[in-house]
Amino acid sequence: MNFLEERILKDGIVKEGNVLKVDSFLNHQMDINLFKQMGEEFKRRFADKNINKIMTIEASGIGIACVVASYFDVPVVFAKKSQSINIDGDVYVAEVESFTHKNKNQVIVSKRFLGPEDHVLIIDDFLANGCALQGLISIVAQAGGTVEGIGIAVEKGFQSGGRMIRNLGYQLESLAIVESMDAATGNVKFRDQSEVE
Amino acid sequence: MNFLEERILKDGIVKEGNVLKVDSFLNHQMDINLFKQMGEEFKRRFADKNINKIMTIEASGIGIACVVASYFDVPVVFAKKSQSINIDGDVYVAEVESFTHKNKNQVIVSKRFLGPEDHVLIIDDFLANGCALQGLISIVAQAGGTVEGIGIAVEKGFQSGGRMIRNLGYQLESLAIVESMDAATGNVKFRDQSEVE
């Protein structure tokens, strides 16, 4: 079991409806030392990739992305939800459905910050049905850039997002893949990734 | 002139209506090495304070807060805009008006992550009229915690937020205070802070 799986067992809370609360260390309160461990691990897993930019989506991906970025020594660009008056009209747009908030958002990235020269590592905290990730991949494609890899903290392995992204040929690395969880007992089962690597 | 003021002169863009775009390095694309310099500088300015938590507000404050937090070796808690189904009902709430998005948001922090034992450094990217900051201060007060200081990247010195917060006695450190800017010439004038310190 790796450091993130151990932390999930220690501090994660399983709720009814396959909800895994990791808000004490990942996406509300944020444990920066844990994020540093994640940065080291992603750096190891993507060591052979030539990455010049990290991309994420607001809000909870930003913290992880910024700490991870310091291990790659590259800037972060985060996709913004909905149009802001401070963003030029010249933007890439993707439509993203949110499971958590039960709504649809346009996410946008200024064309000034993504182009054909960019080799992008996408970072996010959660992967479930993969809608946010599809939007980010679409934006990199619109820019003519290259997705070199995708680094996720927690993947819900029983939802289809991860399988679909891997089927498309992307190197998707999730530090913890939850296979099942049980709100009654609080049990969380992780996918054994030792055979995958 | 300090590193952030220099960067604003180099890469900031002045738009009509007293809008200063710093989205190429601060709040859309994010220069992590710049954020590290900010972390070092805030650590120096708040060296005498006993800080055990950094607090910010989504979205663009999160990146700076996480990098700054690694210099203080403390966790970050970010206030969330609007109620999420992944947050317990047991939250502190403040109402915050957004100048950028021209709307009102409730911002919330789970009661599990803020309490009387917390000595908080508030970090954000921008300070103008101070509405977001008042909301964060109110949440720390609701929790019975202590605001040890406030660290801001860019303050619009010609708006009232900063003066009001300083009048209330808080140690507010803004790395760059814009006194005036001119969209026609692109000029930005900063407040001389050498006499203040």
Q: How far apart are CA A82 and CA A93, in angstroms?
A: 9
The residue-averaged pLDDT of B11-31 equals 96
**Contact by Cβ (8 Å): B5, B174:** no
Q: Which two tokens stand for residue B18?
A: 């007293």
B68: in domain: yes
B125: in domain: yes
B98 strand-pairing partners: B103
Of A189, A131, A196, A136, the residue nearest A160 (C-alpha)? A131
Give the chain B residue nearest A32 (alpha carbons). B75
- How sure is the predictor about A96, in pLDDT bands with cuts at 50, 70 and 90? confident
B196: in domain: no
What pLDDT sits at residue B102? 73
Closest partner residue to A21 among B73, B86, B102, by Cβ? B86
What is the number of residues in chain A? Answer: 197
Residue B102's domain spans which residues? 3-190
- How sure is the predictor about B84, in pLDDT bands with cuts at 50, 70 and 90? low
A37: in domain: yes
- Residue A35: CATH number of its domain: 3.40.50.2020
Q: Does residue B44 belong to the interface with chain A, where contact is any CB pair within 8 Å?
A: no
What pLDDT sits at residue A81? 87
Q: Verify whether the Cβ–Cβ distance B80 to A28 is below 8 Å.
A: yes
Q: How far apart are CA A128 and CA A99, in angstroms?
A: 9
Provide Rg for chain A, Cα atoms.
16
The mean pLDDT value of chain A amounts to 93
- Indicate the number of domains in chain B: 1
Helix intervals (H) in B16-59: 32-45
- Cα distances from A137 to residues A42, A143, A184, B123, in angstroms, run 18, 10, 36, 31
Residue B175: left if φ>0, alpha if ψ -120 to 50, beta else—which one? alpha
Distance from CA of B69 to the nearest CA of A (A): 7
Q: Which two tokens stand for residue A104?
A: 């649809």
Angle, helices A3-11 vs A32-45, to 10°: value is 150
A147 strand-pairing partners: A120
Taking only the tens place, the pLDDT of each residue in B130-159 is: 999 999 999 999 999 999 999 999 999 999
A194: in domain: no
B197: in domain: no
Q: Which two tokens stand for residue A46?
A: 């993507």
- How sure is the predictor about A194, in pLDDT bands with cuts at 50, 70 and 90? confident
DSSP-derived 3-state class of residue A54: strand
B151 strand-pairing partners: B123, B173
What pLDDT sits at residue B17? 93
B195: in domain: no
Distance from CA of B58 to the nearest CA of A (A): 6
Taking only the tens place, the pLDDT of each residue in A25-55 is: 999 999 999 999 999 999 999 999 999 999 9
Q: Which residues contact A162 (CB under 8 A, 6 or more apart)?
A: A127, A130, A152, A155, A156, A172, A174, A177
- How sure is the predictor about B194, in pLDDT bands with cuts at 50, 70 and 90? confident
Distance from CA of A48 to the nearest CA of B (A): 22
A16: in domain: yes
pLDDT above 90 for B192 = yes
More confident residue, A89 or B134: B134
The residue-averaged pLDDT of B46-75 equals 97
Q: Which two tokens stand for residue B14?
A: 């002045």
Q: Does residue A83 belong to the interface with chain B, where contact is any CB pair within 8 Å?
A: no
Has A167 been labeled as part of a binding site? no
Pick from B58, B62, B88, B126 the residue to mutate for testing the A interface (most A CBs within 10 Å). B62
Q: Which residues contact A169 (CB under 8 A, 6 or more apart)?
A: none
Has A131 been labeled as part of a binding site? yes
Q: How far apart are CA A2 and CA A130, in angstroms?
A: 23
